Amino acid sequence: MAPPLTKEKRPFRPRLPNFLKQSIPPAGGPAGDGLNNVRDAIADFKMNTVCVEAKCPNRTHCFNRGTLAFQILGNICTRSCGFCAEKFGNPSGSVDETESIRLVEAAKRLQIKHAVITSPSRDDLFDGGASQFAALVRQFRKELPRVTVEVLTPDFMARKESLQTVFESRPDIFNHNIETVRRLTPKVRSKATYDRSLFVLREAAKAGLTTKSGLMVGHGEGMEELTEAFNDLAEAGCRALTIGQYLPPSTHHLPLLKLYNPDEFDSLRRKALEYGFLDVSAGPLVRSSYHADEAATLK
């Protein structure tokens, strides 16, 4: 009989089916070259990207569409969500004032068509980092006016002044992820609340911005809970939605309770569209930045 698995060796998720696997493209081809170009730019401009920091499984596909999710305000988050691979700690108010300039220069080199700007939660800052989001949007407008810009923000603790700072920069898309259903929010998200996220999205819609949100599935949610979330998001003015599979980054994160197959994701997409969303992307590898450029044309 084989010895029991130790904590270090215990698998934290089942063997992944083929539809959840991504191959690394070979060097010398367009996909491989695109991936290497992005890696070089990340190193040269000392950038953080959510594609890397959050271990996104879909990064190669987005890189080759001319979409990149820039992560500002460092790589340390003041919240410790049960699903997220970001480092947890206290950045103690540190902000890189040259960040917006470097990131725009990187976007120029990579000929980015659609830029997603996101950050870890920075509750240590008086405005949660809102002024840095706004500064980078304005920098893109000045230097790369043809690039569409999407912000994927934390909730800023629902401070209206912080939200207004971002709204006034007029990003093409305002994205804030609700992440999971109401019942599971206290377990899945650190310090965030379901209703606060709805408030943030509602305020963005009132400000005339195209709003977007995202859900992960696999935490044990039920279909009735998901349809409640679809309805709540639609009533908050959300126009675009992403639905993807939760995959634990490590044994220290929340366990995976259900793997959805592609047919189930297709059913979720069709159900969500019944609530009036203009765009819904749903699939095993869908993340917030998946085909993000397509939502930039929504009204």
Per-residue pLDDT reduced to its tens digit, 230-253: 999 999 999 999 999 999 988 889
The residue-averaged pLDDT of 260-275 equals: 97
Instruction: Report the C-alpha gap between 284 and 262 in whole angstroms.
Output: 7
Give the chain's domains with CATH numbers.
27-295 (3.20.20.70)
**pLDDT at res. 39:** 65
Instruction: Report the C-alpha gap between 223 and 220 in whole angstroms.
Output: 10
Q: How confident is the model at residue 129 (pLDDT cuts 50, 70, 90)?
A: very high
Q: What is the pTM of this model?
A: 0.85
Instruction: Report the C-alpha gap between 14 and 256 in whole angstroms.
Output: 8
Q: Sign of the CA dihedral 201, 146, 73, 40?
A: positive
The residue-averaged pLDDT of 21-27 equals: 55
Mean pLDDT over the full length of the chain: 85
**pLDDT at res. 53:** 46
The residue-averaged pLDDT of 148-170 equals: 97
The residue-averaged pLDDT of 205-215 equals: 97
Per-residue pLDDT reduced to its tens digit, 163-204: 999 999 999 999 999 999 999 999 999 999 999 999 999 999
Total length of the chain:
299
H or E stretch at 1: none
